[in-house]
């Protein structure tokens, strides 16, 4: 028998891959056997009942999209509808999305856009569609779709067999890239679609009247000659016929799958989030917009099938980097968050006996106290980790607090075998820490594996980067050449410098962070 690994070896052990069973393929076979004879509304009703909240509908809001959207809305108007705004669409499509959603009563239309960092890197002049349309479609459509689909087991598409040779054998239910794909209109022909459009009195896309019969991005869509194939106007004059979201992905281009260790952490965090949601009726999640809380939002979207079901609060001192505010506004909209911005009181209102930087940091504790009292919250979800700082290492997953936020670290409940104490007295609340067992490396490896967006300030520019994001008056960047997430992972594997070395308030007095935390800091 080989000797067990020493702790130091475990720390540096590489993340190993494992044999992956394609669960989606097995599930597709099973669903196909039971529901493959259905189509349209009947198929959607069966699957929404079997897998509530687990399937999203992906729609371009194009020429024929209204039929499938109307069927889905008839079964469940709250079905998640994913719309990819490539930045190259016709203005008419955006207007039509809003008009049609209102007409059908759809309540959960989620718009996803390309990553602005990738856009700046790959397509600054905006002409990639002409020079390399596959690369253009990849970052404008394929990558945002992967991000959008992360919380879901499968997606509904509007593809039909009659549309092209490559779609002639389209099954009603299939799997691709680890997700189910459901094609309720696979067997429908153009006449049936037109008749259904008329029967339901659906509003038409305004460009159809001008001869656009299949509508995608403006530079890649032409009018169709009378009698010609509807998709002949897409990428006219090029060999390209598909944007890529329906093509089998080349494995090397897909995000690396999370390791077994990361999936165990993910499962545990999802379990904690669901426990908190089930047991605490007045719940909110803090979102600092840093790497940890972005993972937390990502996990919450997975835990609740795409929609975070409680308010997400940013405690704002007005002192964050401008890129933090840009990221917050963009992804709050994209992820459909119920974002609340809690303005923190000025530093003059904070305990003057605290050292200066700790006093500035304590503005957030004061903002949080106000929020908890005003909203009568009995649960606050926070993305802290044990390995960040020794005071946080003493924490519990469900950590009871007074409504002042006071933390009695000498009187904490035991947490054996994932049994958590979520009961609270009237004058108490619970801090819930779903990431407590994660390490900084776990966070970055998971961010990489899942393709989670991050604030660009984490990536080195001019020889420095932020390792821990905080307000500009109390946080400093560190020297680094890590300009990508792979570089950050390599850097962390080699460094012995503490993560919060750039947080000035941690170091100005021996007990300043402990004082902050025992008085309610996160």
Residues at the contact surface with ligand SF4, assessed by CB under 6 A: 86, 88, 129, 133, 136-137, 140-141, 216-217, 219-220, 243
If you write DSSP's letter for every residue of 81-92 in order, what string do you get? EEEE--S-B-HH
Is residue 259 within 8 Å of 16, Cβ to Cβ? Answer: yes
- In terms of C-beta density within 10 A (0-12 exposed, 13-18 middle, 19 or more buried), how is residue 33 classed? exposed
If you write DSSP's letter for every residue of 340-371 in order, what string do you get? EEEEPPPGGGS-TTS-HHHHHHHHHHHHHHHH
Question: Shortest distance, CB of residue 72 to ligand SF4, whole angstroms?
Answer: 24
Strands 464-465 and 478-479: antiparallel
Quick one: DSSP state of residue 289? Answer: S
CB closer to ligand SF4, 193 vs 217: 217
CB closer to ligand SF4, 57 vs 220: 220
- Euclidean distance between CA atoms 467 and 32, whole angstroms: 48
Handedness of CA 406, 409, 411, 412 (dihedral sign): positive
CB closer to ligand SF4, 112 vs 310: 112
Question: Shortest distance, CB of residue 84 to ligand SF4, whole angstroms?
Answer: 9
Instruction: Give the C-alpha distances (Å, rounded to integers) separating 64 from 158, 172, 190, 201.
Output: 8, 18, 9, 13
CB closer to ligand SF4, 81 vs 137: 137
End-to-end CA distance of the chain: 44
- CB neighbour list of residue 471: distance below 8 Å, 6 or more residues apart: 317, 319, 320, 360, 361
CB closer to ligand SF4, 52 vs 87: 87
CB closer to ligand SF4, 217 vs 350: 217
Question: Shortest distance, CB of residue 220 to ligand SF4, whole angstroms?
Answer: 3
The CA-CA-CA angle for residues 216, 148, 488, to 5°, reads 115
CB closer to ligand SF4, 58 vs 324: 58
CB closer to ligand SF4, 232 vs 412: 232
Longest dimension (CA), the chain: 81
Tell me the residue length of the chain: 522
CB closer to ligand SF4, 139 vs 162: 139
Residue nearest to ligand SF4 (CB): 217
CB closer to ligand SF4, 137 vs 354: 137
- Euclidean distance between CA atoms 518 and 401, whole angstroms: 9
Question: Shortest distance, CB of residue 235 to ligand SF4, whole angstroms?
Answer: 7
Backbone angles phi, psi at 244, to 5 degrees: 120, -20
- Euclidean distance between CA atoms 50 and 35, whole angstroms: 11
SS3 339: strand
Quick one: DSSP state of residue 60? Answer: -
Question: Shortest distance, CB of residue 113 to ligand SF4, whole angstroms?
Answer: 12
Q: Looking at the annotation, which residues are catalytic?
A: 243
Is residue 217 within 8 Å of 203, Cβ to Cβ? Answer: no
Handedness of CA 190, 191, 196, 202 (dihedral sign): positive
Question: Shortest distance, CB of residue 138 to ligand SF4, whole angstroms?
Answer: 8
β-pair partners for 173: 182
Question: Shortest distance, CB of residue 86 to ligand SF4, whole angstroms?
Answer: 5
Nearest-CA neighbor of 484 among 117, 189, 25, 188? 117
Backbone angles phi, psi at 96, to 5 degrees: -65, -40
Question: Shortest distance, CB of residue 448 to ligand SF4, whole angstroms?
Answer: 24
With residue 464 as reference, give the H or E element that holds it.
strand 464-465
Question: Shortest distance, CB of residue 65 to ligand SF4, whole angstroms?
Answer: 16
Is residue 338 within 8 Å of 312, Cβ to Cβ? Answer: yes
- Euclidean distance between CA atoms 166 and 242, whole angstroms: 10
Q: 3-class secondary structure for 21-45?
A: CCHHHHHHHHHHHHHCCCCHHHHHH
Question: Shortest distance, CB of residue 141 to ligand SF4, whole angstroms?
Answer: 5
């Amino acid at each position: 028998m080989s000797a067990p690994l020493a702790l130091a070896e475990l720390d540096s052990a590489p993340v190993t891959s494992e044999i992956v069973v394609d669960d989606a393929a097995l599930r597709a076979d099973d669903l196909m056997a039971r529901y493959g004879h259905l189509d349209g509304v009947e198929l959607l009703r069966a699957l929404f009942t079997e897998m509530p909240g687990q399937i999203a509908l992906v729609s371009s809001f194009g020429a024929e999209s209204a039929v499938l959207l109307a069927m889905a809305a008839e079964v469940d108007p709250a079905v998640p509808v994913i719309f990819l705004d490539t930045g190259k669409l016709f203005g008419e499509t955006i207007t039509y999305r809003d008009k049609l959603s209102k007409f059908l009563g759809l309540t959960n239309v989620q718009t996803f856009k390309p990553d602005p960092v990738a856009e700046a890197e790959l397509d600054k002049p905006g002409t990639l569609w002409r020079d390399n349309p596959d690369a253009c479609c990849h970052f404008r459509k394929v990558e945002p779709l992967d991000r959008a689909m992360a919380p879901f087991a499968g997606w509904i598409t509007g593809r039909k067999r009659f549309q092209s040779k490559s779609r002639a054998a389209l099954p009603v239910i299939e799997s691709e890239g680890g997700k189910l794909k459901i094609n309720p209109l696979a067997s429908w022909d153009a006449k049936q679609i037109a008749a259904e459009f008329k029967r339901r009195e659906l509003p038409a896309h305004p460009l159809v009247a001008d001869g656009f019969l299949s509508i995608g991005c403006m530079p890649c869509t032409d009018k169709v000659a009378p009698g010609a194939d509807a998709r002949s106007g897409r990428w006219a004059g090029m060999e390209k016929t598909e944007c890529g979201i329906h093509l089998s992905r080349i494995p090397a281009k897909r995000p690396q799958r999370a390791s077994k260790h990361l999936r165990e952490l993910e499962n545990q965090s999802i379990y904690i989030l669901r426990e908190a949601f089930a047991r605490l009726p007045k719940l909110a999640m803090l979102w600092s917009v840093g790497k940890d809380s972005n993972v937390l939002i990502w996990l919450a979207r997975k835990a609740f099938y795409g929609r975070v079901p409680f308010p997400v609060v940013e405690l704002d001192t007005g002192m964050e980097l401008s890129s933090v505010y840009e990221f917050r506004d963009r992804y709050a909209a994209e992820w459909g968050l119920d974002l609340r911005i809690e303005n923190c009181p000025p530093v003059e209102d904070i305990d003057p006996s605290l050292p200066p930087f700790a006093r500035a940091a304590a503005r957030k504790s004061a903002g949080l106290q106000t929020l908890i009292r005003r909203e009568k919250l009995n649960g606050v979800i926070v993305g802290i980790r044990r390995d960040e700082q020794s005071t946080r290492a003493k924490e519990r997953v469900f950590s009871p607090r007074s409504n002042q936020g006071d933390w009695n670290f000498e009187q904490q409940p035991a947490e054996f075998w994932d049994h958590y104490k979520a009961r609270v007295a009237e004058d108490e609340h619970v801090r819930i820490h779903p990431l407590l067992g994660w390490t900084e490396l776990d966070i970055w490896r998971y961010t990489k594996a899942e393709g989670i967006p991050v604030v660009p300030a984490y990536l080195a520019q001019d020889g420095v980067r932020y390792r821990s994001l905080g307000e500009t008056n109390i946080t400093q960047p560190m020297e680094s050449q890590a300009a990508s997430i792979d570089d950050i992972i390599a850097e962390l594997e080699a460094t012995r410098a503490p993560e919060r070395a750039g947080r000035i308030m941690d170091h100005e007095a021996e007990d300043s962070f402990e004082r902050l935390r025992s008085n309610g800091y996160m």
